[in-house]
Amino acid sequence: MFQLFNLSLKLNGFPVKEAIAEFEKIQAISDAEYENYINLKRKEIVEYHLKNNKSYQEIVGKLEIQNWSELPIMTKKEFQKPLSERLSKGFTLKNVYVNKTSGSSGDPFIFAKDKFCHALTWANIINRFGWFGIDFNSSKQARFYGIPLDFIGNKKERLKDVLKNSYRFTIFDLSDEILEKVLLKFQNKKFDYINGYTSSIVLFAKFLQKKNIVLTSVCPTLKCCVVTSEMLFDEDKILMEKQFGVPIINEYGASELDLIAFQNRNDEWQINSETLFVEILDENNNVLPNGKEGRIVITSLYNKAHSFIRYDIGDIGILDEKSTLKKPILKKLIGRTNDIAILPSGKKSPGLTFYYVTKSIIEDDGNVKEFVVKQTKIDTFDIEYVSQKELDNNQIKTIEKAISTYLENGLHFNFIRKEKLNRSKSGKLKQFVSLIKN
């Protein structure tokens, strides 16, 4: 088969063939030798940036580092300066891959990867999707993603979709009328897999549930569904598995880094240890033992163009106790560090706790399609929801009681029914937002 996807990467200057060979070589390293591999790559990337990257030299403050723990933690705020000032010697805006983060952390920035590093990213993605029989050169993708609405940006993304053998559905309007058209496409096209934002795909699953349709009954070629960019809750995963008739795979990544974790065939969230080094740190930057909750800090082992060394991605998570250096497992992704709700008592709680508790009640009868929780004051929360009919007093009291039980008393809630929820420009839906300064 003509490998259009691989060819498109090669024509753009990304040595994907060499990257796949390197990736396979890394995977062949034994468990016993893997610590040596990680230590060597960490040492090489630090020495490289201390020698060639003025921006990183300024962050570290010295050229001699004795221990890994001496290295400073990098954050997004340190990247709020022109990209040209952050590139390593020998790299320019013309010979690197350049992109922009989504800004979901509140600190969007432009970043770069050298072309071999970006090719390794694709080697990793190709490998992980291959676990489930997906080949980017031949498998047809049903894509639930946002798309730029300006003419040039729109056409660029549409061209990328052609090269990726994908069909993109709009996610800015997911009314039943639109979802009927989505279903018709699945009946008429031989899709191999679904890929996209969790909340949009959950809405499609709820639509199918209402119509009592299992997707594989109208699209038997479907093999799997990969969700990304937003939290995947257990109940939603069960619903999607039932209504799609295929495995639901949870992906966790960051555009500035790589694919960070991908659910494997054993239902484990396997971390990418080939090109990244992942640490879980406490508030004093000490490494926590596996099983303990902390900040996710990541080192890109291959990016020579731009330093991401001990980079605090802004997420909170837990490594599984059974993790090894070669096969680390992400036990739980709790949420973003900036999604913390501060309550009147002084208690701090992950904002998704509000969302999760509310979700367990609000969606019971199938009336509510989707919702978001916004903290507007220290004791006040808006719950915006899309539904067939308004929530009644009993439902509202049940939600308020549950939140009091899980969190604390004295909180106030405004329930606001809407025609549709506001999504970001990319189409992502943020389940919890705090509008107060922590």
Query: Which residues are CB-neighbours of 84 under 8 A, at least 6 positions away?
Result: 92, 93
Residue 438's pLDDT band (cuts 50, 70, 90): low
Q: Are residues 17 and 115 in contact, defined by beta-carbon separation less than 8 angstroms?
A: no
Residue 368 has pLDDT above 70, yes or no: yes
Q: What is the percent of the chain with per-residue pLDDT over 90, rounded to a whole number?
A: 56
Residue 425's pLDDT band (cuts 50, 70, 90): low
What mean pLDDT is predicted for residues 299-315? 95
Displacement of CA 187 from its chain's centroid (Å): 29
What mean pLDDT is predicted for residues 203-209? 93
Q: Are residues 358 and 401 in contact, defined by beta-carbon separation less than 8 angstroms?
A: no
Q: Are residues 230 and 181 in contact, defined by beta-carbon separation less than 8 angstroms?
A: no
Higher pLDDT pick, 366 / 78: 78
Is beta strand 340-342 parallel, antiparallel or unpaired with respect to 330-336? unpaired
Q: What is the pLDDT of residue 405?
A: 80
Residue 1's pLDDT band (cuts 50, 70, 90): very low
How far apart, in whole angstroms, are the C-alpha atoms of residue 328 and residue 277? 10
Q: pLDDT of 379-394, one tens digit each?
A: 999 999 988 889 888 8
Q: What is the percent of the chain with per-residue pLDDT over 70, rounded to a whole number?
A: 92
How far apart, in whole angstroms, are the C-alpha atoms of residue 312 and residue 183? 40
Q: pLDDT of 216-248, one tens digit each?
A: 999 999 999 999 877 888 889 999 999 999 999
Q: Tell me the average pLDDT of the chain.
A: 88
What mean pLDDT is predicted for residues 72-88? 90
Residue 151 has pLDDT above 50, yes or no: yes
Residue 346's pLDDT band (cuts 50, 70, 90): confident
Residue whose tokens read 């300006």: 150
How far apart, in whole angstroms, are the C-alpha atoms of residue 312 and residue 118? 20
Q: What is the pLDDT of residue 426?
A: 63
Q: What is the pLDDT of residue 217?
A: 97
- Enter the tokens of residue 68: 């890994």
How far apart, in whole angstroms, are the C-alpha atoms of residue 43 and residue 277? 12
Q: pLDDT of 58-77, one tens digit each?
A: 999 876 778 999 999 998 88
